[in-house]
Amino acid sequence: MTSKIALVTGAGSGIGRACAKALMDAGWIVVLAGRRTEELDATAAHAPDRALAVPTDIADEVQVEALFETVRARCGRLDLLFNNAGAGAGGRLEDLSLEAWRRVVDVNLTGAFLCARGAFRLMKDQSPQGGRIVNNGSISAHAPRPFSVAYTATKHAITGLTRSTSLEGRAYDIACGQIDIGNAQTEMTAAMARGVPQADGSFAPEPLMDVKAVADAVVYMAGLPLAANVQFMTVMATKMPFIGRG
């Protein structure tokens, strides 16, 4: 195949959908993973000849293994994994249920690990060897929002996953980097324009940026030769409360 192969998780909406479309526009064939078949199909409709929708719950090991077997069988190789899918659970720490905590950990951390492991195995075994993994870390990999203990803990853990994968990947030409995103405008962040809790206890609207800025950044990271890597990139709404948050 002449086109490079990408896999985007959480490709049915938001950042995942925007990045999948941008990769298609840049000439990639994109495997779309997510739980909602109809939403994946809507993303695939952007460029049906460059998209393959594979409904997958990344928190389920059996489904993730089936996803990578589909990539191997249908595409022959994998050049990029954008490890993007995520979940959140709002609420005060003392009120958060163990069930809600485990769901966020299962998706954001265990799911990211399962996909990184699947990509690593495929990239290690394929010829030519190697590929790239980009993890979505989020601004919360650095600084928490109020009432986001589960999300913040998992996103801090993604940084460790990124660093370990980057280190172990050196022997096989597998590059791994992380993109930390702040306030990209999607259906999931619409509430920020109306107002969200702040660290000082107030409630205030926050600036948003066009999600295209994120998609462009991911396409740039994906397009680098494997001898070069963006280890960490932060792309954020310029005036959002991050620098000096709290």
Active site residues: 151
- Say which amino acid occupies 33: A
Question: Per the structure block, which two tokens stand in for 105?
Answer: 């950990």
Instruction: Judge whether 108 and 101 are in contact, CB under 8 Å.
Output: no
Greatest CA span in the chain, whole angstroms? 55
- Collect all residues with Cβ–Cβ distance below 8 Å to 167 and sequence separation of at least 6: none
- Collect all residues with Cβ–Cβ distance below 8 Å to 29 and sequence separation of at least 6: 1, 3, 4, 5, 6, 50, 51, 52, 75
Comparing C-alpha atoms, which of 34, 101, 100 is closest to residue 63? 34
